[in-house]
Amino acid sequence: MSEQHSKPDNSKMITRLLASVVLMFAFGFALVPLYEKFCEVTGFNGRTNNSAAAGSDGNLVDTTRLVTIEFHTRVNRGLPWEFSSEVRRLQVHPGETTTVNFTATNRTGRDMTGQALPSVAPGEAAPYLLKTECFCFQNQPLAAGDTAVMPMQFYVDPDIPNHIRTFTLSYMMYDMTEAAAQGRVVVDTSE
């Protein structure tokens, strides 16, 4: 009896429900680029823009205040490299272009490729750190035992809010030897 009023609707409803399942599965994956975009805009996860920014307009240097930048370097677990910055902390005027050199040494007996990934804390400061040139835009191939001096040129966006007086830029060096050998490019340098 109930079949009379239920059967015709069932297939339509099942189709709709299955479509929502597929949609939600796709939504799970869509959250990945959404999250990245969200973090890029807000700096929530401390990721800095990994492509070259336009140079600073020298006229816009804000000499009325100083921002302190602390540099922090680490190598990922299991990567026998040395990686350091020439300075630990630096005071700059917003808008002023500065270069900081980083040094990496491959302590192993084989050729390797590394990749440094930046992170800024607090994340709020991340969008205001503008790099015009950085070793971190590319992989860093280092022959066995070699040392490389790698420059990073940057300026702090003069729009940075007044309450951010200090922020930390941290670089983690990852082993990308295998990925590089397979031709997988991790950091997009095309921009």
Partner 1 sequence: MSTVVDTHHEHDDHHDHKPTGIKRWLFTTNHKDIGSLYLLFSFLMFFAGGTMALVIRAELFQPGMQIVDPHFFNQMTTMHGLIMVFGAVMPAFTGLANWMIPMMIGAPDMALPRMNNWSFWILPFAFIIMLSSMLMPGGGPAFGWTFYAPLSTTYSTDSTALFVFAIHIMGISSIMGAINVIVTIMNMRAPGMTYMRMPLFVWTWFITAFLLIAVMPVLAGVVTMVLTDKYFATSFFDAAGGGDPVLFQHLFWFFGHPEVYIMILPSFGIVSAIIPAFARKPLFGYASMVYATAAIAGLSFLVWAHHMFTTGMPVFASLFFMYMTMLIAVPTGVKIFNWVSTMWRGSMTFEPPMLFALAFVILFTIGGFSGIMLAITPVDFQYHDTYFVVAHFHYVLVSGAVFSIMAAAYYWLPKWSGFMPDEGLAKLHFWCSVISVNILFFPMHFVGLAGMPRRIPDYALQFADINAIVSVGAFLFGFSQLIFLAVVVKCMAKKGQAAVAKPWEGAEGLEWDVPSPAPYHTFDTPPKIEAPIR
Binding site for partner 1 (CB under 8 A): 1-2, 5-6, 9-10, 13-14, 17-18, 20-25, 27-29, 31-32, 35-36, 39, 42, 44-45, 47, 76, 115, 117, 121-124, 172, 174-176, 179, 182, 184, 186-187
- For the CB of residue 174, give the shortest distance to partner 1 in the complex, in Å: 4
Which of residues 10 and 91 has its CB atom nearest to partner 1 in the complex? 10
Smallest distance from partner 1 to CB 133, Å: 20
Which CB sits closer to partner 1, 79 or 150?
79
As measured in angstroms, the least distance from the Cβ of 59 to partner 1 is 32
Q: How far is the CB of 63 from partner 1 (least distance, A)?
A: 30
Nearer to partner 1, 146 or 178 (CB): 178
Helix (H, G, I), strand (E, B) or coil at 150: strand
Can you tell me whether residue 17 is helix, strand or coil? helix
- The DSSP annotation for 73-134 comes to EEE-TT--EEEEES-SEEEE-TT--EEEEEEEEE-SSS-EEEEEEEEEESGGGGGGEEEEEE
